[in-house]
A and B are shown apart, each in its own frame.
Chain A
Amino acid sequence: MALALLRTQKSPMPGFGLGMGITLTMLSLIVILPIGALLAKGISYGPAEVWTAINTPRVWAALYLSFRLAFLAAVFNLIFGTLLAWVLARYDFPGRRVVDALVDLPFALPTAVAGIALTALYAPNGVFGSIAKSMGQKIAYTEWGILIALIFVGLPFVTRTVQPVIAEIEKEVEEASATLGAGRFYTLRRVILPLLLPAALTGFALSLARAVGEYGSVIFIAGNLPMKTEIAPLLIVIKLEEFDYNGAAAIGIAMLLIAFSMLLVINLIQIWSRRRIGHV
């Protein structure tokens, strides 16, 4: 069998051919072929044409908006998520376990449901939206609305990567710091924070990657005005509805490249963290 050539070591374990066969067949059918078709579309369309299709003010505005708001949402989640992880791992209060379970809600709740719920809350006639309106502000159908939706979908990432690391920190490390005369805040900043940094950055990158490509929760609250509140994934959908397959593929390829580079960054962070503290 051709697959057997891949193996570097003989083992008596059965099922290599079957397992590898199923894995590669499904991987090809579901992931590799479609992504390959997207890249092939870009090649047949021609790199110069792809660049021309991307290099329009509307596409740049959409990509810039998606990336900028995703970054801001990830920064918020980095700070709030770390705080949440600390509170859940270190403090005991009534209902802690329920709160712990609720952190994962944004992962479990379908994005369309989140989208209409957030819009209902932050629209000018909604509970929070009307408060903003009385102060002369608007949240839904502006960048603020998009930001809130992106914060929602990325919320659990940082907490879920940082929380196990906090649980593993030995109390002795903090005690040693205290016996050397460090105040509590100094210990947190100089001892705890560096230990949490790799996990927090991994969560940050995951949250960022998710937010850049997010569609369902954003389109309801965004208002979707070209050049103003139009996110990149929506632009792909619009191009497809206009049967502009080349234009859609061009934006799709740009987003795929962004996704690949973020995947690379996440891997680099994990390699760096493994070198630094010996585990991820």
Chain B
Amino acid sequence: MYDRALSETYSLPTQQARPKWRPVTEESPLTRAILIAVALGGLALLVVAPLAVVFAEALAKGAGAAVASLAKPEALSAIKLTLIVAAISVPFNAIFGVAAAWTITKFDFRGKAFLITLIDLPFSVSPVVAGLALVLLFGTNSLLGGWLVASGFPIIFALPGIVLASIFVTFPFVARELIPVMIEQGRTEEEAALTLGASGWRVFSTVTLPNIKWALLYGVLLCNARAMGEFGAVAVVSGKIRGQTATMPITIEMLYNEYLSVAAFTLAGVLALLALLTLILKTGLEWRHADQLAATRRH
């Protein structure tokens, strides 16, 4: 009331009349435009162009040729293998992530910081070094590997090795996403449920799980994208046996090296579509469930 009276009397600038001055906390419109142009231009050059060229090369000889290349047994077996690897390694990681996050956030114990560092370790190890480490542990030259091969259960150059390599490179994804969320939620809700007589599993499934489900989904999503696309670690342990241990990324490399451009880029296009789908779902989760995700608060 008082404000309005004042502005009517002295005709102070109102909201409608745009002020000639700009706030001190903003850059000049020209600087703004230049910065936006540099950011968008850089992103178009660095990120959008490679994405576009994947689809352009895949469709270079028409959609028919692209679809035909996907129907080849080589491509089909690669897609099947990649799906199998993801179907084993992602649930594995989800269980590990939940168990690790539960242990780290609900209890106090010695060596917690060290445990977190160990869980994060695969992020800073080169995928090739990870593959090498698995070969040294399970390869035919090693004690353990020799025995495993002799007993008819080879790990390297076979499915178990590819799965182990995929789990290694995606190891921290789910745990990293859950730990900050569960730290923030604290232990009080679970403790209340316990005092009311709920069993451990009941507390987990009716109190904890609903609180972390979107964060869990977010972690699983990122884990899946990486597991399906892993190249370096899998290249070392898979042996690249055509039709047997060649995942989609490995098959892309083989086709590309044989100058089968359309087939290579079509398979790459399938993985690029998966990456886009992952981004869309991830962004959707960030918009709708920002309050429950650690990523949107992380810095």
Q: Which residues of A does B touch, CB under 8 Å?
A: 6-9, 11-16, 18-20, 22-23, 26-27, 30-35, 37-38, 41, 80, 83-84, 86-88, 91, 93, 97, 99-118, 120-121, 126-128, 148, 151-152, 155, 160-162, 164-165, 168, 171, 174-175, 178-179, 184, 187, 199, 209, 212-216, 220, 233-234, 236-237, 240, 245, 248-249, 252, 255-256, 259-260, 262-263, 267, 279-280
B54 to chain A, nearest CB (A): 5
A252 contacts B132, C-beta separation under 8 Å? yes
A34 contacts B103, C-beta separation under 8 Å? no
Q: Which of B48, B115, B194, B228 contacts A110 (CB 8 A)?
A: B228
- Give complex CA distance A99, B110 in Å: 43
At the interface, yes or no: B7 with Cβ under 8 Å from chain A? Answer: no
List the A side residues contacting B204 at CB < 8 Å: 15
B103 contacts A20, C-beta separation under 8 Å? yes
List the A side residues contacting B135 at CB < 8 Å: 240, 245
B168 contacts A263, C-beta separation under 8 Å? no
Specify which of B120, B134, B279 lies most central, judged by the most chain A CB atoms within 10 Å of its CB: B279
**Known contacts being A101-B279, A102-B48, A110-B275, is A87 close to B96, with CB within 8 Å?**
no
Q: Mark B42-77, 1 if CB is under 8 A from A, else 0.
A: 110011111101100100000000000000000000
B225 to chain A, nearest CB (A): 5
Q: Which residues of B does A touch, CB under 8 Å?
A: 24-28, 32, 35-36, 38-40, 42-43, 46-51, 53-54, 57, 92, 95-96, 99-100, 102-103, 106-111, 115, 117-130, 132-137, 139, 141-142, 164, 167-168, 171, 187, 190-191, 194, 199-200, 203-204, 222, 225, 228-232, 235-236, 248-250, 252-253, 256, 264-265, 268, 271-272, 275-276, 278-280, 282-283, 296-299
B136 contacts A37, C-beta separation under 8 Å? yes
**Known contacts being A212-B126, A215-B128, A255-B126, is A108 close to B225, with CB within 8 Å?**
yes
**Known contacts being A84-B39, A104-B282, A109-B272, is A263 close to B99, with CB within 8 Å?**
no
B35 contacts A110, C-beta separation under 8 Å? no
Interface of A is mostly: helix
- Give complex CA distance A86, B42 in Å: 14
A10 to chain B, nearest CB (A): 10
Nearest opposing residue in chain A for B203, CB measure:
A14
A171 contacts B229, C-beta separation under 8 Å? no
**Known contacts being A108-B275, A110-B229, is A236 close to B129, with CB within 8 Å?**
yes
List the B side residues contacting A100 at CB < 8 Å: 283
Q: Which of A19, A99, A214 contacts B99 (CB 8 A)?
A: A19
B25 contacts A174, C-beta separation under 8 Å? yes
A155 contacts B47, C-beta separation under 8 Å? yes
CB-defined A-B contacts under 8 Å, sample of 23: A11-B187, A13-B107, A15-B102, A15-B106, A16-B103, A22-B100, A23-B115, A26-B96, A30-B167, A32-B118, A35-B125, A38-B136, A84-B43, A87-B36, A103-B47, A107-B222, A111-B231, A113-B252, A175-B24, A215-B231, A216-B235, A236-B132, A252-B128
Q: Which of B53, B107, B126, B278 contacts A117 (CB 8 A)?
A: B53
- Give complex CA distance A240, B235 in Å: 11
A240 contacts B132, C-beta separation under 8 Å? yes
- Give complex CA distance A227, B96 in Å: 42
